[in-house]
Amino acid sequence: MTTLQSNILENHTPTGREEAWRFTPLKRLGGMHDGSAKPEARNSLAVNGALPAGATFTHQEIVAVTETDDAIVNRIREFTSQGAVLTIAPSAEITEPIFLNRTSFGTDSAEFARVLIKAGNHSKSVVVLENTGDTHLAEDLEIVVEPGAHLTLISLQEWGSKTIYAARHHAIVDRDATFKSIVVTVGGDVVRILPTVDFIAPGASCDLSGVYFATAGQFFEHRMFVDHKVPNAKSRVNYKGALAGDKAHTVWIGDVFIRAAAEGTDTYELNRNLLLSDGARADSVPNLEIETGEIVGAGHASTTGRFDDEQLFYLMSRGINMDDARRLVVRGFFNEIVAEIGIEDIQNRVMARIDDELAKAGK
């Protein structure tokens, strides 16, 4: 067992001393981690709009495709074996994005949800998960990307301010398959997402990117784990965050494990944070554990900084006022990743939300 995986919990309940939980405000998780939450199976995930040919969506019995030591996921699995299943047929090439959204039911109880997304071999699809409103949600999302399949998953956290959301988004990526994930977290009280990837055959690749913007009091945690256990797989991680306001707190953990068998691995991970005010805190921890030297490349970078005065001066010297200059810089900062979404409506919506967060922060 490596340090990246050692997360043994007594009685399934994290105390905050474990590596995986050391940043998370356990008291603000609504009891989803310790059994005190009142779980419900609401099956609130539904297709938004028409489902294109080649895709099916059902609520049914789910057999977990992976094991995990995550306390919340294990509680979900103990609670229910039912969940939502989206299947993309083998060889289906679906050009229109598939939209799934969640209806919120308030915060009196917690929804414990399981989801399985299965991209059949050599299929090509884009799936958008839209999360809005106020809820308590614990989610076990498993993603299977079969040989030769290309799946893009866009996960939008546009939650209301009372939401507590704790989830594992785990992808199993098979031979010559690609998994592209874009996580946007701009709303919620506490959001904790574990975007994790398991490569199970050579030629697999993943591209995990994300943007987050936390304002006063919000806690957003994104904790990657990419497991290179087979040769010739490629991973890229690029998360960018902005923080503003008292006790805005973000956590980015980038764990990449290159096992002895994973020769030919190519990995790079990056996290950049923009601190827009005092009183905010960005934790950024890349971890690279390498058991073989026979690799193509492995690297990481992490930066946390404030507004670049020179950028603001340059823009303002062209007549652009301070607020507009800040907006341009922040939009530019996030643009690299938001542009990857590839759906113009959503890109505009995310940018507008980022403008709003910035405007709120400026007050």
Given the rule CB under 8 A, which residues bind other proteins? Answer: 308-311, 313-322, 324-325, 328-329, 331-336
Least separation in angstroms between CB 316 and other proteins: 4
Identify which of residues 30 and 210 has a Cβ nearer to other proteins in the complex.
210
Least separation in angstroms between CB 306 and other proteins: 13
Least separation in angstroms between CB 7 and other proteins: 36
Identify which of residues 141 and 315 has a Cβ nearer to other proteins in the complex.
315
Least separation in angstroms between CB 317 and other proteins: 5
Question: Residue type for 225, please?
Answer: F
- Pick the closest to residue 361 from 246, 206, 224 (CA basis): 246
Identify which of residues 116 and 346 has a Cβ nearer to other proteins in the complex.
346
Identify which of residues 120 and 210 has a Cβ nearer to other proteins in the complex.
210
- The CA-based diameter of the chain, rounded to the nearest angstrom, is 61
The residues pairing with 238 across neighbouring beta strands, listed in sequence order, are 209, 270
Identify which of residues 16 and 332 has a Cβ nearer to other proteins in the complex.
332
Least separation in angstroms between CB 329 and other proteins: 7
Least separation in angstroms between CB 310 and other proteins: 5
Give me the sign of the Cα torsion angle 289, 293, 294, 298: positive
Identify which of residues 331 and 353 has a Cβ nearer to other proteins in the complex.
331
